[in-house]
Chain A
Amino acid sequence: MSGVYVILQERDGRVSRASWEALAAGQRLGSELNQPVTAIVLGATTEALAAEAAAKAIAKVIRVEHPLLAQYTADGFIAALAQLIQNERPTQVVLPHTYQVRDYAPALAARLGHVLISDVVSIGDGPVFTRQLLQGRLTGRYRHTGSGPCLISVQAGAFRADTVETGAAEISTFTPMIDAAQIRTKPGEPFRGSAQTVDLGSAQLIVAVGRGIKDADNLPLVQDLATALGAELAASRPICDNGWLPMERQVGSSGQTVSPKLYLAVGISGAIQHLVGMKGSQCIVAINKDPDAPIFEVADYGIAGDLFEVVPALTEAVKAAKQ
């Protein structure tokens, strides 16, 4: 029993960025444990994905192919991967922490009698795996015990995709046994919620508002600041869940990913799901009443104070500076 397996996910016919990050994490584990790294691609036809993966500095690529894997289903993926893992007996299995992986990896681990260590942000000697707790207020270091594979999923952005070097890996194929009757769910084609009229991705300046604003009636306060700056208004998920701003203004894992010159977060505590959508911003400013809020972990400038006092003062200061 040996080897680090990295399960790659396809996106628009190519290996997704999050998968390359998972591969980087796999290589970190491979060198820690002195074990070869193997990339796994799944689908009905995986030739192109396998070729892409084989051009990296890893030992092997395994194509897990079956007509019933043409479309993602948890039942199909769990059946195929459980067979592969039981057959090949890797010690470590690394996955990107995507919505798809969240849908099947916990059950895959359970089928193997194991437990996925989800949303890992770093890997230390041992190996020990660090993940965030209480929406990023604390971190926990976890260790896998017992024999059998250790499964982990890694948070988007936690490992650098560009550290994966080029190489030439051998490619093999694994054909799992899957019966159509095993697949109990019928997924439809993905669709967009509504016509996107706001492209936050191309905005240079963004003012984003979170739960701290307390009430929809207080939104003009941040809208005024956005207007004074010439910025787009964005929000964290709870604001959109409440219907205070349209979903298309949501930044985070379930909304848009942005990297403006300036991201000004008002009353946003900084839950992981929000941070993954904005931490690539050039300059981050946070205004929050709680000096321990996780948003300050990623902020360049911070004001720990009452947004109902700070925001109007800031709007005035911006207006004065622009005159």
Chain B
Amino acid sequence: MKIIVAIKQVPERDAQVRIDAAGKWIDESGLQWALNESDAYALEEALQLKEKSGAAGSEVVVLTAGPERVGPTIREALAKGADRAIHIDCDDLGMRDALGVARLLAAAIKPENPDLILTGLQSEDLGLGQTGVIVAELLGLPHATLILQVEKTDTGLNVKRELEEGWFQSIELPTPAVLTIQSGGNKLRYATLMGIKKAKTKDVRRLTAAELAVDATPVVVVERIALPQKQKTTQMLPGTAKEAAAALVEKLKFEARVL
């Protein structure tokens, strides 16, 4: 089974972000980056499927689009066990909308003819939650979203889909297919020292956005980004931990009257 995992590098969760001068994105200088969390779960699912299948010729290929800085994230995925990588070298990702990014990915996926395409359900930076679904549409493949478990069957796949408020559903679908993976379905592995060593020799194929020749004109454009408006006035309680705790208990008892 050949599995492609589309991953994204995103700002590290606790990173301090500043809006850039143009007011259209964040200032990326000095920012720490990480592998998007649900993409890490997608990679984990792919690696486990390959291990379970045991078939000769099975492979896991990671695919990402982004500028030079995504290199370490690709190496991290290779160190965890992906066999090779495709890097779409592209520094105008922020200028493309969800369809534009999906077009890039789909164009890179198509000649690979994979049996399965996995990606995380949404990115932690833009949070659009659309890329996998659009890729499926562009490639004419069936898809399922918010998937926690994937099982290979004789005819295709049986997947466990998360619904809202603690409900789930099984879905059968043929392959090739696209699945977007929800976090928490598996336990994530760490890269081993051996894995990190091996990753250095694994193949990373570079493609440019130009050679994929897809339409980059956005339909949806960002006008401006800003700090969120507060929905409530928050009373911040200063002082030492002890002082703040004492003040909070007072407030909860006599002002909010919830204790």
Q: How many residues of B contact A (CB 8 A)?
A: 79
**B71 located at the interface, meaning its Cβ lies under 8 Å from any Cβ of chain A in the complex:** no
Q: How many A-B pairs fall under 8 Å by CB?
A: 257
CB-contact partner of B244 in A74, A237, A303, under 8 A = A303
Choose the segment among B47-55, B110-118, B137-145, B193-201 that binds chain A (4+ C-beta atoms closer than 8 Å): B137-145
Selected contact of A255 from candidates B19, B166, B245, CB within 8 Å: B166
Mask of A107-143 contacts with B, CB within 8 angstroms, 1/0: 1011101111111000000001001111111111111
Among A138, A189, A302, find the residue whose CB has the most chain B CB atoms closer than 10 A: A138
Among A43-51, A159-167, A291-299, the stretch that binds chain B is A291-299
Q: Given A99-B163, A186-B172, are A303 and B137 also a contact pair (CB < 8 Å)?
A: no
- B11 to A134, Cβ gap below 8 A? yes
The reply to whether A314 and B245 contact each other, CB–CB distance below 8 Å, is yes
Instruction: Encode contact with A along B223-259: 1 for CB under 8 Å, 0 otherwise.
Output: 1111111111011110001101110110111001011
Cβ contact of B166, chosen from A146, A241, A248, A296, cutoff 8 A: A248
Contacting pair B14 A290 (CB below 8 A): yes
List chain B residues, Cβ under 8 A from A185: 142, 144, 171-173
The answer to whether B145 and A140 have CB atoms under 8 Å apart is no
Cβ of B154 < 8 Å from any Cβ of A? no
B143 touches A138 (CB 8 A): no
Q: Smallest distance from the beta carbon of B137 to chain A beta carbons, Å?
A: 4
The winner among B98, B136, B253 for most chain A CB atoms within 10 A is B98
Closest Cβ of chain A to B186, distance in Å, is: 10
The reply on B83 being an interface residue by CB < 8 A is no
Interface contact A114-B219, CB-CB below 8 Å: yes
How near does chain A come to B9, taking the closest CB pair, in angstroms?
14
- List residues of chain A with CB within 8 A of the CB of B227: 138-139
Contact of B248 among A103, A186, A301, A309 (CB under 8 A): A301
Query: Which chain A residue lies CB-closest to B224?
Result: A141
Flag whether A262 is at the interface (Cβ < 8 A).
yes
Chain A's interface size range is 35 or more
Inter-chain CA distance A103–B249, complex, in Å, is: 44
Residues of A near B223 (CB, < 8 A) are 128, 141-143
A313 and B242 in contact, given A106-B98, A115-B97 (Cβ under 8 angstroms)? yes
Q: Given the complex of chains A and B, what is the CA–CA distance between A199 and B139 in angstroms?
A: 43
CB <8 Å contact, A321 and B259: yes
Given known contacts A99-B163, A241-B184, A303-B237, is B127 in contact with A188 (CB within 8 Å)?
no
B220 at interface (Cβ–Cβ under 8 A)? yes
Instruction: Tell me, in angstroms, the Cα distance from A107 to B145 when the chains sit together.
Output: 12
Q: Which residues of B contact A116 (CB under 8 A)?
A: 98, 130
Extra contacts, 13 of them, besides A115-B99, A119-B128, A144-B219 (Cβ < 8 A), are A98-B164, A99-B162, A133-B126, A134-B127, A185-B171, A193-B166, A196-B166, A205-B258, A283-B256, A290-B14, A294-B228, A301-B236, A321-B253
